[in-house]
Amino acid sequence: MKKGEIILGIDPGTQLMGFALLRINNGQPQVILMDVLKLTKEKDIYARLDLIHSKVCELIQLYQPSTFAIEAPFFGKNVQSMLKLGRAQGVAIAAAMQAKMTVTEYSPKKVKQSITGNGNADKDQVWRMLQRVLSIEEKPQYFDATDALAVALCHHYQSSSVLGKVAKGPKGWDEFIAKNPGRVKK
């Protein structure tokens, strides 16, 4: 990551959408903002989707993040809820793509693993680790906000670590050999 880079993290939802902005200075993450967009007052799902799109566009315009990270919906038993969540995620992603941002999606398990070392950690464990790592005092009212912050921090870890770069390594032996001709033994 470049100096002063800003990551926009989103925890999509149709009732509450968590969002967070994280600035990376000299490899050190600093919280800019962590909050939720409350959508419960609006009954119409399409109006909610419009609010999500508008909020993401507003955050992008105000803070000029360089990357966008979003939590992937997890598979649940209620298909209708899953469809609504997928739409909310899609609208947020569309706003980022419209702004020509790089979009990265992380599974909830990957986010938890990245923050706590345990892919099955609960929301409170994730929050306590965020408090320690980012020196945050006050507990937000909603875990959706902390989930969004966790997504942003996960993205920072994945893009700045050796492990994150390994995943972006060569796509096959031909590419590896082309990039490493001195390692080929004849």
Distance of CA 125 to CAs 21, 84, 128, 166, Å?
A: 20, 27, 5, 27
Strands 5-11 and 16-25: antiparallel
Please tell me whether 144 is known to bind a ligand. Answer: yes
CB contact at 8 A, 125 and 7: no
H helix or E strand, kind and range, residue 75: none
Please tell me whether 124 is known to bind a ligand. Answer: no
Please tell me whether 11 is known to bind a ligand. Answer: yes
> Known catalytic residues?
11, 71, 144
Give bridge partners of residue 5 from the DSSP assignment. Answer: 24
Q: What's the angle, vertex CA 81, arms to CA 146 and CA 72, rounded to 5?
A: 45
Tokens of 107: 């599974």
Give the three-class secondary structure for 161: coil
Binding site as annotated, residues for Mg(2+)? 11, 71, 144
Binding site as annotated, residues? 11, 71, 144
